């Protein structure tokens, strides 16, 4: 195999003529490999926007360098000409090169690898591994995603979706995120956390595709339900099991507090400090004192232990769909029950889209009745 063919295969570049390879000293103790390249005649003098062959205007700013994939521990740069072309449609632009995207300072293979890594780990880790900057990784990801997004309609064939908000950075900054439950992929996201943002998703989806939605999972926010009811009234709104458990925990605590109040009003002493968490935590997570407290409550006060049993079964993991899914109701119905209401426990119906989510939220901490927006300030 010729050296040029070997270099092209190792660096993942095509339609390129390798003119030479040399080492250069980057620092006192480190050398970099510089590969001198030029596009093949067929790939040269192309407009970066439309890809047409165009007349060469001038040599531009002369030679450029593009960071390429490392060879072992050695950093590699491609060096080649970057002339300007005069496109009839797009004007004077730097000519496209077959090894890199327009305006990129790294080869397409390098950007693809950095983007793949960024999808699986922190950008700072990617930057350290690829020996580039955090900001450069961000730019590469944006460029690769923009290229992949061109011509791809991710809102096609949606049937069962999930809508939720996600906080980012510090303060109250939120993204509305829509996932396709059938593929498990994020299909839409936008900054904001209000009805206008949810409506923007349905605007992008269009009425015809919205009419084909069968299930929409979301949390207990009625402002999301209102938009779903307005834009996709035929879809079943599926309650996120996390919030169902949260409401159940609040209902249990309400009963406990009422009974405690009544006992105190009747002149009885209430000294069991373990009762609160004995009722709220899952049986597997109870301490010895809490187990004793729960046994005592069951023995002496059925009113309090009954809702606890209902809440525990609500969050129990089991192969039965009914126990892992939240309740569903048609978008055109009045909507979900509020916190403290008894309707939360009314016959949850099996709902596929929420099953996957219930697994991820079934950690011992989350099964205790909701930790994300839990109000108690301390926990034993």
Q: Which residues bind Zn ion (CB under 5 A)?
A: 47, 49-50, 87, 89-90
Rounded to the nearest 5 degrees, what angle is found at the Cα of 339, between the Cα atoms of 362 and 360?
15
- Bridge partners of 239, per DSSP, are 218
Residue with Cβ nearer Zn ion (65 or 84): 84
* C-beta separation of 245 from 362 below 8 A: no
Residue with Cβ nearer Zn ion (91 or 338): 91
Residue with Cβ nearer Zn ion (50 or 119): 50
Residue with Cβ nearer Zn ion (103 or 133): 103
Q: Smallest distance, Å, CB 52 to Zn ion? A: 5
| Integer-rounded Cα radius of gyration of the chain | 30
Residue nearest to Zn ion (CB): 47
Q: Smallest distance, Å, CB 123 to Zn ion? A: 33
- Among 358, 136, 135, residue whose Cα is nearest residue 243: 358
Angstrom distance (rounded) from CA 265 to CA 299:
21
Q: Smallest distance, Å, CB 245 to Zn ion? A: 57
- Among 61, 139, 55, residue whose Cα is nearest residue 101: 139
Cβ neighbour number for residue 7 with a 10 Å cutoff = 20
Q: Smallest distance, Å, CB 107 to Zn ion? A: 22
Rounded to the nearest 5 degrees, what angle is found at the Cα of 106, between the Cα atoms of 102 and 107?
80
Residue with Cβ nearer Zn ion (57 or 298): 57
Residue with Cβ nearer Zn ion (36 or 52): 52
The H or E element that residue 31 is part of is strand 30-39
Q: Smallest distance, Å, CB 95 to Zn ion? A: 10
Residue with Cβ nearer Zn ion (45 or 158): 45
Angstrom distance (rounded) from CA 236 to CA 224:
13
Q: Smallest distance, Å, CB 48 to Zn ion? A: 7
Q: Smallest distance, Å, CB 90 to Zn ion? A: 4
* C-beta separation of 304 from 279 below 8 A: yes
Cβ neighbour number for residue 126 with a 10 Å cutoff = 24
Cβ neighbour number for residue 203 with a 10 Å cutoff = 12
């Amino acid at each position: 195999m010729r050296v040029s063919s070997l270099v092209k295969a190792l660096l993942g570049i095509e339609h390129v003529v390798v003119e030479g390879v040399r080492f250069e000293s980057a620092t006192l103790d480190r050398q970099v490999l510089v590969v001198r390249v030029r596009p093949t005649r067929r790939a040269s003098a192309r407009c970066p926007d439309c890809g047409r062959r165009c007349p060469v205007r001038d040599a531009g700013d002369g030679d450029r360098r593009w960071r390429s994939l490392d060879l072992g521990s050695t950093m590699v740069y491609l060096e080649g000409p970057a002339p300007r072309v005069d496109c009839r449609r797009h004007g004077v632009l730097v000519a496209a090169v077959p090894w890199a995207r327009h305006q990129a300072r790294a080869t397409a293979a390098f950007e693809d690898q950095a983007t793949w890594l960024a999808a699986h780990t922190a950008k700072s880790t990617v930057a350290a591994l690829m020996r580039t900057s955090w900001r450069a990784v961000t730019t590469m990801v944006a460029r690769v995603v923009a290229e992949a997004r061109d011509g791809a309609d991710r809102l096609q064939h949606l049937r069962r979706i999930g809508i939720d908000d996600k906080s980012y950075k510090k303060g109250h900054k939120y993204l509305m995120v829509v996932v396709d439950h059938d593929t498990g992929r994020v299909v839409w996201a936008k900054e904001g956390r209000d009805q206008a943002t949810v409506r923007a998703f349905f605007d992008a989806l269009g009425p015809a595709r919205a009419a084909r939605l069968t299930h929409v999972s979301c949390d207990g926010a009625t402002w999301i339900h209102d938009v779903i009811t307005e834009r996709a009234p035929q879809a079943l709104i599926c309650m996120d099991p996390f919030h169902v458990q949260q409401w159940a925990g609040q209902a249990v605590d309400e009963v406990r507090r009422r009974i405690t109040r009544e006992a105190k009003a009747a002149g009885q002493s209430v000294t069991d400090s373990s009762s609160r968490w004995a009722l709220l935590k899952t049986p597997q997570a109870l301490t010895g004192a809490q187990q004793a407290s729960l046994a005592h409550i069951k023995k002496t006060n059925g009113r309090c232990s009954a809702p606890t049993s209902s809440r525990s079964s609500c969050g129990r993991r089991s192969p039965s769909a009914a126990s892992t899914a939240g309740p569903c109701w048609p978008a055109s119905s009045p909507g979900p029950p509020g916190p403290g209401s008894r309707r939360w426990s009314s016959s949850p119906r099996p709902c596929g889209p929420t099953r996957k989510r219930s697994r991820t939220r079934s950690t011992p901490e989350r099964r205790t009745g909701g930790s994300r927006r839990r109000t108690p300030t301390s926990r034993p």
